[in-house]
Amino acid sequence: MIGRSHGPSRFETTHVDMVPMVDCIMVLLIFLMISSAFVNDPGIEVQKPDVGGTAINEQNSLLIAIAADNRIFFDGQQISTDQVAALVKQAAIGRSPALIIRADRASNHGVFAEVYAEAKRAGIQHVQFATTHAEAP
Protein backbone atom coordinates (compact mmCIF):
# COMPACT_ATOMS: atom_id res chain seq x y z
CA MET A 1 0.00 0.00 0.00
CA ILE A 2 1.61 3.04 -1.24
CA GLY A 3 1.11 6.35 0.54
CA ARG A 4 0.12 4.89 3.87
CA SER A 5 2.28 5.51 6.80
CA HIS A 6 2.35 3.14 9.62
CA GLY A 7 2.12 4.59 13.11
CA PRO A 8 0.95 7.90 14.47
CA SER A 9 1.74 10.93 12.34
CA ARG A 10 3.42 13.86 13.99
CA PHE A 11 2.85 17.43 12.92
CA GLU A 12 5.45 19.96 13.77
CA THR A 13 4.10 23.25 14.94
CA THR A 14 6.04 26.39 14.29
CA HIS A 15 6.19 29.08 16.89
CA VAL A 16 7.01 32.66 15.98
CA ASP A 17 8.26 34.62 18.94
CA MET A 18 6.75 38.15 18.76
CA VAL A 19 8.65 39.61 21.72
CA PRO A 20 11.75 40.74 19.77
CA MET A 21 9.57 42.42 17.13
CA VAL A 22 7.52 44.25 19.76
CA ASP A 23 10.74 45.31 21.51
CA CYS A 24 12.10 46.79 18.27
CA ILE A 25 8.86 48.66 17.57
CA MET A 26 8.80 50.10 21.09
CA VAL A 27 12.41 51.28 20.77
CA LEU A 28 11.60 52.95 17.44
CA LEU A 29 8.48 54.58 18.88
CA ILE A 30 10.37 55.97 21.87
CA PHE A 31 13.17 57.23 19.60
CA LEU A 32 10.69 59.03 17.33
CA MET A 33 8.89 60.59 20.28
CA ILE A 34 12.11 61.89 21.82
CA SER A 35 13.56 63.21 18.56
CA SER A 36 10.39 65.04 17.52
CA ALA A 37 10.15 68.76 17.95
CA PHE A 38 6.87 70.02 19.31
CA VAL A 39 5.71 73.60 19.06
CA ASN A 40 3.01 74.81 21.43
CA ASP A 41 0.53 76.83 19.45
CA PRO A 42 -0.69 79.88 21.37
CA GLY A 43 -4.31 78.91 20.79
CA ILE A 44 -5.74 81.62 18.54
CA GLU A 45 -5.63 82.34 14.82
CA VAL A 46 -4.24 85.73 13.82
CA GLN A 47 -3.98 87.49 10.46
CA LYS A 48 -0.26 88.05 10.01
CA PRO A 49 1.02 91.05 8.05
CA ASP A 50 2.27 90.46 4.50
CA VAL A 51 6.06 90.63 4.14
CA GLY A 52 8.28 89.18 1.42
CA GLY A 53 11.67 87.53 1.80
CA THR A 54 11.39 86.24 5.37
CA ALA A 55 11.68 82.72 6.66
CA ILE A 56 10.79 81.61 10.17
CA ASN A 57 11.86 78.30 11.67
CA GLU A 58 9.20 77.30 14.21
CA GLN A 59 10.99 74.21 15.55
CA ASN A 60 11.97 74.54 19.20
CA SER A 61 10.47 78.02 19.34
CA LEU A 62 8.20 79.62 21.88
CA LEU A 63 5.08 81.26 20.47
CA ILE A 64 3.15 84.26 21.73
CA ALA A 65 0.05 85.49 19.92
CA ILE A 66 -1.50 88.94 20.04
CA ALA A 67 -5.15 89.01 18.96
CA ALA A 68 -6.82 91.85 17.07
CA ASP A 69 -8.29 93.13 20.34
CA ASN A 70 -4.76 93.24 21.92
CA ARG A 71 -5.22 90.16 24.13
CA ILE A 72 -1.96 88.22 24.60
CA PHE A 73 -1.89 84.40 24.51
CA PHE A 74 0.89 82.04 25.54
CA ASP A 75 0.56 78.26 25.59
CA GLY A 76 -3.20 78.46 24.97
CA GLN A 77 -3.89 80.80 27.90
CA GLN A 78 -4.57 84.51 27.97
CA ILE A 79 -1.88 86.41 29.87
CA SER A 80 -1.12 90.03 30.67
CA THR A 81 1.94 91.99 29.57
CA ASP A 82 3.58 91.80 32.98
CA GLN A 83 3.38 87.97 32.93
CA VAL A 84 5.28 87.62 29.65
CA ALA A 85 8.82 87.78 31.06
CA ALA A 86 8.19 85.27 33.85
CA LEU A 87 6.37 82.72 31.66
CA VAL A 88 8.87 82.94 28.80
CA LYS A 89 11.81 82.66 31.20
CA GLN A 90 10.24 79.59 32.82
CA ALA A 91 9.51 77.95 29.44
CA ALA A 92 13.10 78.56 28.26
CA ILE A 93 14.82 76.89 31.23
CA GLY A 94 17.64 74.63 30.04
CA ARG A 95 17.59 75.74 26.40
CA SER A 96 17.92 78.86 24.31
CA PRO A 97 14.87 78.95 22.05
CA ALA A 98 13.73 81.68 19.72
CA LEU A 99 10.51 83.49 20.54
CA ILE A 100 8.05 84.08 17.72
CA ILE A 101 5.43 86.77 18.21
CA ARG A 102 2.31 86.27 16.08
CA ALA A 103 0.53 89.60 16.13
CA ASP A 104 -2.71 90.22 14.27
CA ARG A 105 -2.36 93.02 11.74
CA ALA A 106 -5.16 94.90 13.53
CA SER A 107 -3.44 94.73 16.92
CA ASN A 108 -1.84 97.75 18.56
CA HIS A 109 1.85 98.29 17.82
CA GLY A 110 2.41 99.40 21.41
CA VAL A 111 1.29 96.00 22.73
CA PHE A 112 3.70 94.29 20.34
CA ALA A 113 6.53 96.54 21.54
CA GLU A 114 5.73 95.76 25.20
CA VAL A 115 5.73 92.00 24.53
CA TYR A 116 9.01 92.33 22.62
CA ALA A 117 10.61 94.29 25.47
CA GLU A 118 9.41 91.79 28.08
CA ALA A 119 10.83 88.89 26.04
CA LYS A 120 14.19 90.62 25.82
CA ARG A 121 14.05 91.31 29.55
CA ALA A 122 13.50 87.56 30.09
CA GLY A 123 16.81 86.88 28.33
CA ILE A 124 15.54 85.61 24.98
CA GLN A 125 18.24 86.34 22.42
CA HIS A 126 16.23 85.71 19.23
CA VAL A 127 12.83 87.38 19.10
CA GLN A 128 11.08 87.16 15.74
CA PHE A 129 7.63 88.05 14.48
CA ALA A 130 5.47 85.91 12.21
CA THR A 131 4.38 87.23 8.82
CA THR A 132 2.87 85.87 5.64
CA HIS A 133 4.60 86.06 2.29
CA ALA A 134 3.44 88.94 0.13
CA GLU A 135 2.32 88.19 -3.41
CA ALA A 136 4.71 89.27 -6.17
CA PRO A 137 3.54 92.44 -7.98
Write the pLDDT tens digit of every residue in 57-90. Answer: 555 678 888 888 989 998 888 888 888 888 888 8
As a whole number of angstroms, the distance between CA 85 and CA 10 comes to 76
Query: Is the model's pLDDT at 51 over the cut of 60?
Result: no
Mean pLDDT of 1-11: 61
Range of the domain at 131: 38-137
Residue 18 belongs to a domain:
no
Cα(26)–Cα(32) distance, integer angstroms: 10
Does 17 map to a domain? Answer: no
- Count of domains forming the chain: 1
